[in-house]
């Protein structure tokens, strides 16, 4: 396409959103992505990048705004890469998320599911919902200490003291550390020289009692440089229940490593979902939005009104969040998880919840022979973004449980898995639980029912259990 060259300025009308929440327009048969624009909007844009088959642009001026556009409430929104949907009214953002899911299912899974039929489970708390947050710490160009979030599309860290997703009580602590750490001489990690000490600060927070776990990501096992700051925090805040150092010397790895040193307070944080209680460590997986996790798990339960007597498999179980939430509702459950720390925690959680009917199994679902387990009536899966392993799908197609409930945080891999299960299973319902309001992230719950024959369910499938919600 001749007219689309870097630097070209043109007027466009946005047709759709892509999965990264960028406006999508078509210009002379070529697809153009423009961050920040919404479907229906007309704008003047400058082309910034031309690739084979698509181009990217930046918005210069919006001449016709969408009626569902709104002014972002967060002062960091323009720069921070954390949120994507703050310029869209909430109900419309939910609709757009459902649209993205339905498009992915159609395009990648050959599954046609009307987006209007996706049940929406909106967020009860749209701000300050995160029970966990990890803020990177870096030296800026002048070597000064910066703590916050990565700038959109960049490795530069920018301060985000007014972040609207962090828990408020935890945010006070994060802001205090960001201010005091350089005063105590704590050296930030420098990505250029690959030197420095503090790489990140994080928290886990139980919102019911406001107790928190603090995590310092550092590059050596020496925790002495933190001590003056820790004494200060001890004096200033009463709700820090547990403090850890996470040792991450790898200059190319930004997140949490697997090596933790317990510095003070409780070894684990007590967290709650519904009536279940969980012990959680610094780097084990736990749902980031507790209230939405409760609503999601209640929805899973509502999909299984008649399956209380068979075995339920909770695959990719983490610390057993779903298993212990459901334990009193089913006869037997099997929680399968690969991570040894999570498995250890799941065993503790089993005792803590008196859940003798839950069997915790350490296993890799890429290779585990699940046919050795008690044959399931229901299988619930909650894999990482990569989706279900091929071996597991093959085994599920052979075992043919009555129902499979797929919890997924990536509708592209969900689409692939639905495709692989479609011969044996019919899609009966799909829900979208908004675990991450204001971001593009989407959590779906899909109910599959075994096809054909006398085993088929004819009862209503989306029926709520009285008294549960
Ligand atoms: C999205 S989390 C879900 C955890 C849990 N269902 C919950 O709600 O807290 C995915 C979990 O799958 C585990 N996992 C990843 N790959 C796995 C594998 N190949 N076999 C078993 N578990 C795996 C991870 O360690 C993680 O705990």
Report how far ligand 1's centroid is from the alpha carbon of 130 (Å): 19
Secondary structure (DSSP) of 87-142: TB-HHHHHHHHHHHHHHHHHHHH-----GGGSEEE--S--SS-BSEEEEEEEE-TT
| Cα gap 39→66, rounded to integer Å | 7
The pLDDT assigned to 459 comes to: 35
Domains of the chain: 9-64 (2.40.50.140), 132-267 (2.40.50.1070), 276-450 (3.40.50.150)
Report CA Rg, the chain.
Answer: 24
The pLDDT assigned to 466 comes to: 37
H or E element: which one contains 418? helix 411-421
The pLDDT assigned to 20 comes to: 82
Segment 244-301, tens digit of pLDDT: 999 999 988 888 999 999 999 999 999 999 999 999 999 999 999 999 999 999 999 9
Query: Atom 11 (ligand 1): residue with closest C-alpha?
Result: 316
The pLDDT assigned to 319 comes to: 96
In sequence order, the 6+-apart residues with CB closer than 8 A to the CB of 314 are 320, 322, 323, 326, 333, 334, 335, 336, 380, 382
Name the residue of 338, 343, 380 to mutate for ligand 1: max ligand atoms within 8 A of Cβ.
Answer: 338
| Cα gap 36→440, rounded to integer Å | 12
| Cα gap 293→286, rounded to integer Å | 10
Per DSSP, which regions of 194-303 are E strands? 198-206, 211-218, 240-247, 260-265, 269-273, 276-280
3-state secondary structure of 33: strand
| Cα gap 106→116, rounded to integer Å | 14
Given a cut of 70, the residues of the chain with pLDDT beneath it are 1-3, 453-469
Could you tell me if the CB of 317 is within 6 A of ligand 1? yes
Beta bridge mates, 448: 404, 427
Residues 461/305, Cβ–Cβ less than 8 Å: no
Query: Atom 14 (ligand 1): residue with closest C-alpha?
Result: 316
Beta bridge mates, 243: 214, 264
The pLDDT assigned to 209 comes to: 93
Instruction: State the pairing for strand pair 157-158/198-206.
Output: unpaired
3-state secondary structure of 397: helix
Report how far ligand 1's centroid is from the alpha carbon of 192 (Å): 34
| Cα gap 373→361, rounded to integer Å | 10
The pLDDT assigned to 331 comes to: 95
């Amino acid at each position: 396409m001749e007219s689309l060259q870097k630097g070209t300025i043109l007027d466009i009308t946005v047709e759709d959103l892509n999965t990264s929440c960028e406006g999508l327009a078509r210009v002379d048969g070529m697809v153009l992505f423009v961050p920040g624009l919404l479907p229906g909007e007309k704008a003047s844009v400058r082309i910034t990048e031309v690739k084979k088959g698509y181009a990217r642009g930046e918005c210069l001026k919006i001449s016709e705004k969408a009626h569902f556009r709104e002014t972002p409430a967060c002062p960091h929104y323009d720069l921070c890469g954390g949120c994507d949907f703050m310029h869209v009214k909430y109900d419309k953002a939910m609709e757009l998320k459902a649209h993205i899911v339905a498009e992915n299912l159609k395009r990648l899974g050959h599954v046609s599911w009307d987006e209007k039929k996706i049940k929406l489970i909106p967020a009860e708390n749209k701000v300050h919902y995160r029970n966990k947050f990890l803020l990177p710490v870096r030296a800026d160009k002048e070597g000064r200490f910066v703590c916050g979030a990565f700038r959109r599309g960049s490795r530069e860290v920018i301060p985000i003291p007014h972040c609207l997703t962090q828990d408020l009580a935890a945010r006070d602590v994060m802001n205090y550390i960001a201010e005091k750490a350089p005063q105590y001489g704590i050296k930030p990690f420098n990505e250029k020289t690959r030197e420095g000490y503090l790489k990140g600060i994080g928290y886990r927070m139980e919102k019911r009692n406001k107790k928190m776990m603090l995590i310092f990501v550092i590059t050596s096992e020496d925790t002495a440089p933190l001590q003056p700051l820790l004494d200060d925090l001890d004096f200033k805040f009463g709700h820090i229940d547990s403090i850890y150092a996470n040792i991450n010397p790898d200059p190319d790895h930004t997140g949490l490593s697997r090596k933790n040193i317990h510095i003070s307070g409780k070894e684990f944080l007590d967290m709650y979902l519904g009536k279940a209680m969980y012990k959680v460590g610094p780097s084990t997986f736990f749902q980031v939005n507790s209230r939405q996790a409760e609503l999601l798990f209640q929805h899973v339960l509502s999909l299984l009104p008649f399956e209380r007597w068979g075995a339920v498999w909770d695959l990719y179980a983490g610390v057993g969040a779903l298993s212990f939430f459901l334990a009193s509702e089913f006869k037997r459950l099997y929680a399968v998880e690969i991570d040894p720390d999570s498995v250890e925690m799941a065993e503790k959680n089993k005792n803590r919840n008196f859940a003798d009917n839950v069997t915790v199994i350490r296993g890799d679902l890429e290779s585990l022979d699940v046919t050795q387990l008690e044959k399931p009536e229901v299988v619930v899966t909650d894999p990482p973004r990569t989706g279900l392993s091929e071996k597991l799908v093959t085994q599920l197609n052979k075992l043919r449980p009555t129902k499979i409930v797929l919890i997924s945080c990536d509708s592209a891999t969900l689409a692939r898995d639905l495709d692989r299960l479609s011969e044996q299973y019919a899609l009966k319902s799909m829900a979208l639980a908004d675990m991450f309001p204001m971001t593009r992230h989407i959590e779906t719950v899909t109910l599959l029912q075994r096809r054909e024959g006398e085993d088929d369910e004819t009862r209503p499938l989306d029926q709520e259990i009285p008294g549960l919600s």
